[in-house]
Structure 1
């Protein structure tokens, strides 16, 4: 087997006296689709930010390709949040071109000549792939919630990241639109050979999309000092499109042993 893309060894994160994560030990290989579930505030999004580079581990080591995780975001790691990170004064096409510009050029995000033409061609191709080819000249306020999320995904993918980080990207969408977004993200994952980490509060969504599901929870609890201990990965479950029939059984196991893990229907 190839070397892990990401290695976490005894990773912990604290803010002052509050312990958020402790003793996180995992390896992730290129091409995996990791879904992260757990109670609110258990450190799922914090772990994503550590991979992105906007947060650093307090203890342990977090490696990317065998080297310490960079302490700032880079083009190899793209992120999509639940709240749409688009520029309201730019068209759909210009939003995606700007994402390439901020990657390649100065803080202005401006491209010129051949670079600009190539960025526009690449942006159009990505927007066609995410189903926004008909909306190139529209502005964000003219888009539905699902279309805005497609735009945010296109902004991330045009930078050709190796790793795509999704922080509850579909939580605000209606069930029907979420189903369309599931199909889209699976298509992008396969087409662009991405490694994906996705935080979700929907256990069924986590099983359906991922090849591997992590459950974050605290192994130790102190009622007198609720923040004295952090969460770890208490379950690391391999899942696959062929193994969906095990969902109900594992759901019951999780519910019985970890009643604090949220679960909601998608229908």
Structure 2
């Protein structure tokens, strides 16, 4: 049985359709890159996977469970802009992330707090930030802040990691080092990853599969009249997928 099942999902905001007829199944442990033009519903799809939003129609199931009604600790998320707590130290950010459970945020005390600090220090060693454990995020470089954000997302041991343009704000050199970092973590944890990116080469480099979102119906007089769907599903490990296939127009003008 597939780990993530998306069945006939539609999403609209008011009278504006964003996604339509989205169907896909994902095996556990796969890395899924999501690409497509701006405004074609990539981030919306990520929010649906997170259960931050619920689809207008259709269902999303994780490991055969009923559709989630709100985000839970089984799903971690990292955004392009560093999603950490600026008023907490690096270590405190990771401790706080461990307090997020099935009933939301809670407080840790006594033995639980000591255990959380030990786990935080172990995570900091793994992500290369042990030497700045007592620093605040503002004192870190962009790459270090994004490492912290990923470490924070992993602190609750999610089964799915959702990345929304996680490296878009980084310089090219830092971005490449973050690719290596993410690949190492993925190999170590075996978690299922969904990553939205505008960089095709990044999507093919990191992903096992590349999902392309686009509109199959398009009205030049009303460009927002139709939603997007998955128009291509590439095996990125095939080794011979020409990028130009992604540049072809897939929408059909409405007469």
Q: Report TM bin, short chain.
A: over 0.9
The C-alpha deviation readout for 1:76-135, integer Å capped at 9, x for no partner, is 00000011111122110011101112337874x431121111111111111111111111
**Matching of residues 170-181 of structure 1 within 5 Å:** 170-181=167-178
Query: Quick check: 1:43 aligned with 2:35?
Result: no
The C-alpha deviation readout for 1:187-227, integer Å capped at 9, x for no partner, is 11111111000000000000000000000000000112222
2:244 to 218, 242, 252: 252
Contact 2:216 2:250 in 1 (8 A): no
Contact 1:51 1:69 in 2 (8 A): no
Query: Quick check: 1:112 aligned with 2:109?
Result: yes
Partner SS state of residue 97, structure 2: helix
Residue in structure 1 matched with residue 74 of structure 2 by the alignment: 76
2:163 to 158, 162, 166: 166
Contact 1:105 1:111 in 2 (8 A): no
Equivalent pairs counted in the alignment come to 251
Q: What TM-score results when the alignment is normalised by the length of structure 2? A: 0.94
Unmatched segments (≥5 aa) in structure 1: 260-267
Residue in structure 1 matched with residue 179 of structure 2 by the alignment: 182
What is the RMSD computed on CA atoms of the aligned residues?
1.6
Contact 1:168 1:199 in 2 (8 A): yes
Contact 2:100 2:156 in 1 (8 A): no
Q: CA deviation at 1:6?
A: 1.1
1:175 and 1:78 map into 2 onto residues whose CA distance is: 25
